[in-house]
Amino acid sequence: MTNKNESDNRGENLEDDNSGEVDNTQYDSFNLNQFWPTISTIIPPADFVGWNRGLHPSWQCMEYSKEQLRLAGFKISAYFSPGQTFQVYTAQNGVNLTQVTNSINYLRYALTNGIPVIVGVDNHSGSPNPLTDNTTDHFVVVVGMGQDSNGKYFRFFDNASGDVAKGTSYLNKLYYNPLTGIFSGTSQATPYSEGLTYTLTMVRKSKRL
């Protein structure tokens, strides 16, 4: 199966975008212990950008995720600029609880304002791209949040599948563990996601095109 990771096959700098101003929006802190508001999805499933080797023979998950943002009128804010990426977890150092709190505050603000956000996940040992964090294997787009019988979560679209029902499934959720600070969950984007646990590694701020 074609590798659906963050590799840069087109020679572009996928990790940074210095065009325009970075996102310095001020937003309120969110009490993580309170009931999380339900935002089902800010992107209609009909607008899902799914895996398609015929249309995009060299694209990997980062390109698909960026296209998903572009269709909604956004792009990644500068990856390497201070305050634009929340590194919440690495295999080497574990969880950064301060960054976890910051990322949750940001994601709640973004989703409340209709802003989709690209996040990285770890689902294999090692990483295909050591230029980032030596942990992230795959990128997905956070489109919703809420709380159910399994806990508090962020919902995501997974472009590892070209099947809309799989890529946008309401079961594609990263659940927050308040004891560890780790966000983890599963994806319905099979066969790629079969048997894999997705662990949130980074959250990249979005900015308008």
Instruction: State the pLDDT at residue 3.
Output: 42
| Residue 7 predicted with pLDDT over 50 | no
Between these two residues, 45 and 133, which has the higher pLDDT value?
45
| Residue 24 predicted with pLDDT over 90 | no
| Contact in structure between 175 and 141 (CB atoms under 8 Å) | no
End-to-end CA distance of the chain: 33
Instruction: State the pLDDT at residue 16.
Output: 52
198 contacts: CB under 8 Å, gap ≥ 6: 121, 122, 123, 138, 140, 174, 184, 185, 186, 187
| Domain boundary assignment for the chain | 59-208
Instruction: State the pLDDT at residue 12.
Output: 35
Range with lowest mean pLDDT among 30-34, 94-98, 103-107: 30-34
Residues 113-161 have pLDDT tens digits of 999 999 999 998 877 766 678 899 999 999 999 999 999 999 999 999 9
Looking at every residue in the chain, the average pLDDT score rounds to 89
Burial of 207: CB neighbours in 10 Å, binned 0-12, 13-18, 19+ = buried
Distances (CA, A) of 11 to 8, 16, 60, 63, 182: 6, 13, 12, 12, 33
What is the mean pLDDT of the segment spanning 50-55? Answer: 94
Instruction: State the pLDDT at residue 10.
Output: 37
| Residue 101 predicted with pLDDT over 70 | yes
Residues 161-205 have pLDDT tens digits of 999 999 999 999 999 999 999 999 999 999 999 999 999 999 999
Between these two residues, 33 and 207, which has the higher pLDDT value?
207
- The DSSP line for 46-80 is GG-----TTT-TT--HHHHHHHHHHHTTEEEPPTT
Q: How far is residue 176's CA from residue 67's CA, in Å, rounded to a whole number? A: 27
The pTM of this model reads 0.91
What is the mean pLDDT of the segment spanning 67-73? Answer: 96
Q: How far is residue 197's CA from residue 53's CA, in Å, rounded to a whole number? A: 25
Instruction: State the pLDDT at residue 137.
Output: 93
